[in-house]
Amino acid sequence: MIQSCQICGNEDNNSFHVAKEMHLGLRDEFNYLECVNCGCLQLINIPADFSKYYPQDYYSFKSPMQKTSWKKYRLSKRTAYWLNHPTFIGWLLCLGKKRPDRLIWSKKIHLRFSSRILDIGCGSGTLLSEMAEAGFTNLIGVDPYIQHDIAYKNSVKIFKSEIYDLNNKQFDFIMLHHSFEHMQNPEQVLNKIYTLLAPKAHLLIRIPIASSYAWRHYGINWVQLDAPRHLFLHTVKSIELLAHKSNLVIKDIIWDSTASQFLGSESYKKGLSLVDSKMPDLTKEDLKSYRDMAAKLNLKHDGDQACFLFTKS
């Protein structure tokens, strides 16, 4: 059994945990190492074949929902507004609307419609499609687990490939929305991404955070442990170590955990999978309590997920 941390190399006094696959309800068991030094959780017994754990109906592979022309128009104006391309119509349509969690980072980055944008681990490309509808024109996605390449009418292209297949290309903005934790060899991944970043470009990585209340409270029932799909569950410290090794600078950290950290984890505590038809009964008061608690944890930098923004050093 692996005894040393793959992030910082520590071999002494590390902890080990056995977690079950609960998202699909398969309940296969997997071993995780928890580093006592950097806190990173890492899967030890990596499956030789992941296809069992990424079925064709896996949520990120679903095609973007077809919308009416009016709905597409509203979404495009709102998305452009949230991505710092405001118009009066966009402002009106966003009144009373909360900026989506997946776009919470957008206040920090001023992208041009012509910016070269790469989404790594994008699934079927839902976010890229929304950005295309908003006016962005240079959008590419890669995901090794989709069935085949996808070319949308809105010019978005999704390739069934790894990032290592991208050569002689550079991008103004690269994003990984909850995909970095699915990848082996995170240092190698960041080193490759470094070569793909244009001068003054930004890198965004949204991931679950192991140094969080949810992990301390729920342990192996923490919904975002997500064995075996999540190979590395990082802490701020382990991300800082990786960034330093890869010549990247963390410019900002945005904490964006939601009530899902409680809803899913409470289900796992009861032995229920996320696809189980029998879910715990929740009142409106319960949901409000979970949302309020998530907001408080984010303010304390103790939520179970965060968005890291990087530039080259």
DSSP state letter for 50? -
Contact 233, 40 (CB under 8 A): yes
Q: Distance between CA 309 and CA 201 in Å, rounded?
A: 10
pLDDT for 95 equals 87
pLDDT for 192 equals 97
Amino acid at 198: A
Give backbone dihedrals phi and psi of 94, rounded to 5 degrees, phi first. -95, -5
pLDDT for 221 equals 97
Q: Distance from first CA to last CA of the chain, Å, rounded?
A: 36
Structure tokens at 174: 């690269």
pLDDT of 205 above 90: yes
Nearest CA-CA partner of 246 in 166, 173, 190, 164 = 190
pLDDT for 279 equals 59
Give backbone dihedrals phi and psi of 111, rounded to 5 degrees, phi first. -85, 145
pLDDT of 71 above 70: yes
Exposure on the CB side of residue 149, measured as CA atoms within 13 A: 7
Nearest CA-CA partner of 188 in 206, 162, 207, 226 = 162
106 — pLDDT class (breaks 50, 70, 90): confident
Mean pLDDT (the chain) is: 90
| Residues β-bridged to residue 159 | 142
pLDDT for 204 equals 97
pLDDT for 61 equals 59
Q: Mean pLDDT throughout 148-177?
A: 92
Q: Which of 15-29, 98-112, 279-293 has the highest mean pLDDT?
A: 15-29
Lowest mean pLDDT among 67-76, 111-120, 206-215: 67-76
3-class DSSP state of 215? helix
159 — pLDDT class (breaks 50, 70, 90): very high
- Tell me the pLDDT tens digit for each residue of 23-68: 999 999 999 999 999 999 999 999 988 888 987 766 555 556 566 6
- Angle 265-125-238 (CA atoms, 0-180°, nearest 5)? 50
User: What contacts 165, CB < 8 A, 6 or more positions away?
Assistant: 142, 159
pTM reported for the whole predicted model = 0.89
pLDDT for 299 equals 97
- Tell me the pLDDT tens digit for each residue of 208-255: 999 999 999 999 999 999 999 999 999 999 999 999 999 999 999 999
3-class DSSP state of 246? coil
Q: Which residue has the tokens 């530039």?
A: 311
170 — pLDDT class (breaks 50, 70, 90): very high
- Angle 306-307-309 (CA atoms, 0-180°, nearest 5)? 145
Pair type for strands 41-43 and 29-34: antiparallel
Q: Distance between CA 128 and CA 122 in Å, rounded?
A: 8
pLDDT for 24 equals 92
ω into residue 186 within 30 of 0, thus cis?
A: no
Report the length, in residues, of the chain.
313
DSSP state letter for 268? H
Nearest CA-CA partner of 102 in 74, 79, 75, 71 = 79
pLDDT for 110 equals 84
Higher pLDDT, 267 or 104: 267
pLDDT for 277 equals 56
